[in-house]
Structure 1
Amino acid sequence: GKFIMTASSDTTILIWTPKGEVLASINTNQMNNAYAMVSPCGRFVASCGFTPDVKVWEVCFSKNGEFREVARAFELKGHTAGVHSFAFSNDSRRMATVSKDGTWKFWDTDVEYKKQQDPYLLLTGKCEVTEPCRIALSPDARVVAVSSGTDIVVYNTRRGEEEERFLGVHGQCITDLAFDINSRYLVSCGDRAIRVFHNTAGHRAVVEEMETMLKKTANKATRERLEQQISSAHKALAAIYGKKH
């Protein structure tokens, strides 16, 4: 809660104190600001627009909490057309982007940007793009959701595979998309309604990770703990789908 960010439709981003004083002004040089946000960790602000990239800045404060500067952190480059939107994981170590070029991308942003290290592209997936288009990344970075028009498609981030497809979710175009802080639910809004979905893809990703760990461990106590967790996760999925377990 150290600062507030606002973005106008031109190329201006302003950083404010909670009391309404302007700390800094950023020119994004993206011809327009299509989307902008503050990272969940509170360290970064980012924007995308007409250009095929996402620009990220660090808002720097001293140890005693005084504002120092807004410094360039890194850029996500690789799309061939303007970026519609982007999202951070909860710790800002991963990001996801969706572009007019018909692809979504998953990035490793856990880099030493102060030493000019660039983010790593982990995955590229194809998707339908109908404006308005939004992307959401689960806080644990296991799942990506892309909204296009009134539809939502959910993908895993291990292989980029489609997991779920929800058609005609709203009577009007979806205007925003987000996961809850615990990665249990996906929420969308568009018309006068808010829709909430179980993040079943996230549950399946957790099961897959635990099954992989189970194959690699020889420790009896660890195996028993993993087997119990896998069983509980399967029961949770069965309950969501209304199946007996």
Structure 2
Amino acid sequence: MVKLIHTLVDHSDDVNYCAFSSSCLASCSLDKTIRLYSLNNFIELPYSPLKGHTYAVHCCCFSPSGHILASCSTDGTTMLWDTHNGQTLAVLKQPHGSPVRVCRFSPDSTYLVSGAADGSIVLWNVQSLKLYRSGSVKDGSLVACAFSPNGNLFVTGSSCGDLTIWDDKMRCLYNEKAHDLGVTCCDFSSHTVSDGEQGSRYFRMASCGQDNQIKLWLISFVDFLGCELKYECTLNGHTAPVLACAFSYDGQMLVSGSVDKSIIIHDTKTRSILHTLTQHTRYVTTCAFAPDIPLLATGSMDKTVNIWQFDPKQHCTGSLLEDEPKMSVENWSEEEVSVWLCAQGLKDLVGIFKMHNIDGKELLSLTKHSLTNDLKIESLGLRTKVFRKIEELRIKVDSVSLGIPDEFLCPITRELMKEPVIAADGYSYEKEAMENWISKKRRSSPMTNLPLHSLVLIPNRTLKMAINRWLETQQKYNETT
């Protein structure tokens, strides 16, 4: 359960960014100010607002200790503030005075990165307050940046859609076209993950963009070998450009905010939607989790910052959708179907579903034809969204009821594989599904989006034997129950 506990209404223009320390919340705005609030009671601190920028403030962030706040602006500067008294510590001027769009501290507070509209990126030495290294991306504005948890590398995102990986010497290690219409934000999880194959450890990173998508990536870094960026999956749910994304501090949740005015909280393990929040009245521009307490802050072009609180018992535990019925879907009542619709952002369809007495069993049996002819849902886009959500629900139901191991499911069809084959990307797919993928002149991996150096498909006999053994076990179990 997530509930709205406070709304901050002090900014006089769009809220561009918000950030937490262990004791404060900071927000910045087109109104040229940064405001700070105590987490004890959400009262604005005596020295707030911070004024010094002469144009819009695009981003703000706390140093890991929380003693310094950085902010950057269209005025071409990144300012450092003392969070104890609000005093200005430094004004760092971007080379050529280009508008600064993003700033980030390294995990050990040694460096501060600032990225600008002209593609320039500067690594500042925080102790000396002097420029340490500088560089630039080939095309576009720098609009996103995030440090890896160990500080050995950082990633920038550009308005042209590229993700670029840099080391702490400002050497470009890797570049990837990630979002067709431009990157808007990126963030690292603080916890490493295993690739599940060779036991290698990776940093998990999320990026979002103007293409309405959120992508998860795995990044490995070895000093003398460079680094590897590996596409993991795409999280869906938003119907418009996604402007912000952020991991919870335990890495179990990812929050995103969009032009569609909604906030979606995703479970990073199951990749399901946990909560959909729709209280903002204009574009959601920023979202952030608090480090030590179950709080979430979201900011919007509606000039407000909303503070959300998680039920401590459910915080970061991989719970189901907010208020989603916990019983088997087939047993859902009409009211529980209505709750599910609301959680999917389909509140406007509740009346139609109730009129046709759609319960859980009926919900799972709906088809595109019945949505059109029986329920009379005229909008093609709405029908497509409903049907996609129902398909996702069917997959969830099938996976839970059968207990199918994820590695037995084809990444393309999400169905149990019958003839698994290994493709050149190293992943296993259902033979027919992969042949269809290739027949449509697709020459990239369904899992990584990277080019396939070969179109040869090799039968995965080991996996097929494992699937058959699992099926035999299931059959014996069913015969005895």
Q: TM-score normalised to the size of structure 2?
A: 0.37
2:317 counterpart residue number: 203
1: CA distance, partners of 2:239 / 2:223 = 31
1:14 counterpart residue number: 122
Alpha carbon RMSD of aligned pairs, Å? 2.6
Deviation per residue, 1:175-224 (Å, 9 max, x gap): 3211222483322223243413327462226xxxxxxxxxxxxxxxxxxx
SS of 1:135 mapped into structure 2? strand
Which amino acid letter does the alignment assign opposite residue 86 of structure 1?
Answer: C
**Given the alignment of the two structures, is residue 44 of structure 1 paired with residue 153 of structure 2, yes or no?**
yes
Deviation larger for 3-12 or 117-126 = 117-126
**Given the alignment of the two structures, is residue 162 of structure 1 paired with residue 273 of structure 2, yes or no?**
yes
2: CA distance, partners of 1:172 / 1:27 = 33
Q: TM-score normalised to the size of structure 1?
A: 0.68
Deviation per residue, 1:67-99 (Å, 9 max, x gap): xx2222444544333111111112571100112
**Given the alignment of the two structures, is residue 133 of structure 1 paired with residue 208 of structure 2, yes or no?**
no
Deviation per residue, 1:140-199 (Å, 9 max, x gap): 32211110133201111223211110002x354333211222483322223243413327
Deviation larger for 102-111 or 146-155 = 102-111
Judged with a 3 Å threshold, the aligned counterparts in structure 2 of structure 1 residues 171 and 80 are, in CA distance, closer, same or farther, namely closer
1:29 counterpart residue number: 138
**Given the alignment of the two structures, is residue 193 of structure 1 paired with residue 305 of structure 2, yes or no?**
yes
Deviation larger for 22-31 or 86-95 = 86-95
Contact 1:57–1:70 (8 Å) recurs in 2: yes
2:206 counterpart residue number: 96
Judged with a 3 Å threshold, the aligned counterparts in structure 2 of structure 1 residues 164 and 121 are, in CA distance, closer, same or farther, namely same
Contact 2:295–2:307 (8 Å) recurs in 1: no
Tell me the number of residue pairs that the alignment of Structure 1 and Structure 2 aligns. 195
Q: Could you tell me the percent identity over the aligned residues?
A: 17
Judged with a 3 Å threshold, the aligned counterparts in structure 2 of structure 1 residues 45 and 110 are, in CA distance, closer, same or farther, namely closer
SS of 1:101 mapped into structure 2? coil
Judged with a 3 Å threshold, the aligned counterparts in structure 2 of structure 1 residues 28 and 91 are, in CA distance, closer, same or farther, namely farther
1:230 counterpart residue number: none
Judged with a 3 Å threshold, the aligned counterparts in structure 2 of structure 1 residues 42 and 140 are, in CA distance, closer, same or farther, namely same
2: CA distance, partners of 1:202 / 1:48 = 27
Deviation per residue, 1:5-53 (Å, 9 max, x gap): 2122110111112232111111022311122244454333322122222
Contact 2:221–2:227 (8 Å) recurs in 1: yes
Which amino acid letter does the alignment assign opposite residue 183 of structure 2?
Answer: V
2: CA distance, partners of 1:180 / 1:98 = 20
2: CA distance, partners of 1:155 / 1:56 = 25
1:216 counterpart residue number: none
Contact 1:73–1:114 (8 Å) recurs in 2: no
Contact 2:252–2:318 (8 Å) recurs in 1: no
Judged with a 3 Å threshold, the aligned counterparts in structure 2 of structure 1 residues 175 and 78 are, in CA distance, closer, same or farther, namely closer
Contact 1:16–1:24 (8 Å) recurs in 2: yes
Deviation larger for 98-107 or 193-202 = 193-202
1: CA distance, partners of 2:249 / 2:176 = 19
Which amino acid letter does the alignment assign opposite residue 116 of structure 2?
Answer: S
Contact 2:220–2:228 (8 Å) recurs in 1: no
SS of 1:123 mapped into structure 2? strand
Contact 1:146–1:153 (8 Å) recurs in 2: yes
Contact 2:258–2:285 (8 Å) recurs in 1: no
1: CA distance, partners of 2:170 / 2:125 = 13
SS of 1:70 mapped into structure 2? coil
2:342 counterpart residue number: none
Deviation per residue, 1:119-154 (Å, 9 max, x gap): 222221223254571011223322111101332011
2: CA distance, partners of 1:46 / 1:183 = 27
Contact 1:58–1:72 (8 Å) recurs in 2: yes
* Aligned residue among 262, 266, 273 for 1:151: 262
Q: Which has the higher Rg, Structure 1 or Structure 2?
A: 2
